[in-house]
A and B are shown apart, each in its own frame.
Chain A
């Protein structure tokens, strides 16, 4: 497939998760407006930070005390991008600088959409999947800032189901072998257990240890 076709394929596959991102962006915009962040700061954050988990984290913690602790917590939540960047690197092209630039398109949904199986990623699909994600995140933030919908109304409509449900369907698509299923269960179990004793950022980072199942399993059983 050509770059253009793969890009379009990535964008197409990302439409569902992007719809979930839109609803999450609306929630973020509304919450930021309620917290008195004004108009420009939330939009700038969504455009350049482009990370729901880190943005919600700062929103929840900045007003509670130390800005340093709030920033550290938000950065920690994104520490998984370090691991994901290493995973992605082999599929990128060019020198170190060019690869680092390409890796900027990395977000959770595009990481999954771009995964071709066996640890190989398609860069064109990665870019294609990130465009609707970024657009919907920014648009959602704008809508949330302008309309400021009641969070209770969004919950009563079941909007809070959209984001985890899309992730569940994506993980079900990803599980193409018994080894992948065991690894996913380990990742979920680790994060669930650690949420009882630590912050979500640590729990998510530790969940990546579930991939160590790859060290133990039969070499003949390769994921599709």
Chain B
């Protein structure tokens, strides 16, 4: 019961969080300055997610092969390797290091 109630509350809260901005703002446009901030939200959130994913709480999740794999994927992408292939190269690099 505790589990199901938790699932229900989190799912509902998730919907409310997504809906709040549109419900409050409606068709009102943000001021120009705010739009400049909004334009940067995607790269900022992605960078935050990468760091959270790689280092974890208290930096205890930091794992050398994982960081190396992600860096290799980034390098592969910068030399115009397709995205999916670049990620697979990164995963293979991490797997290879862990095998050593």
Secondary structure call for the A interface: helix
Q: Render A83-118 as a binary contact track against B, CB cut-off 8 A, 1 for contact.
A: 111111110100111011111101010011001011
- Given the known A-B contacts A158-B92, A195-B56, A207-B48, are A54 and B10 also in contact in the complex, defined by CB atoms under 8 Å? yes
Contact of B22 with A211 in the complex, beta carbons under 8 Å: no
Neighbouring A residues of B52 by C-beta, 8 Å:
191, 195, 200, 203-204
Neighbouring A residues of B58 by C-beta, 8 Å:
195-196
Neighbouring A residues of B99 by C-beta, 8 Å:
156
Contact of B6 with A71 in the complex, beta carbons under 8 Å: yes
Does residue A170 face the partner (Cβ distance < 8 Å to B)? yes
Contact of B40 with A179 in the complex, beta carbons under 8 Å: yes
- Given the known A-B contacts A103-B18, A214-B37, are A169 and B73 also in contact in the complex, defined by CB atoms under 8 Å? yes
Contact of A207 with B44 in the complex, beta carbons under 8 Å: yes
With the chains together, A64 CA to B59 CA distance in Å? Answer: 21
Chain A residues bordering chain B, tally (CB within 8 A): 102
Contact of A103 with B74 in the complex, beta carbons under 8 Å: no
Q: Which residues of B contact A (CB under 8 A)?
A: 2-7, 9-11, 13-15, 17-23, 25-27, 29-30, 33, 35-59, 63, 65-66, 69-70, 73-74, 77-78, 83-84, 86-87, 90-95, 98-99
Can you offer 21 A-B residue contacts whose CB atoms are under 8 A? A16-B84, A19-B87, A45-B10, A67-B5, A75-B14, A78-B10, A78-B13, A85-B17, A89-B25, A103-B18, A156-B98, A161-B66, A161-B94, A164-B66, A180-B40, A181-B43, A183-B44, A188-B48, A200-B52, A200-B56, A203-B51
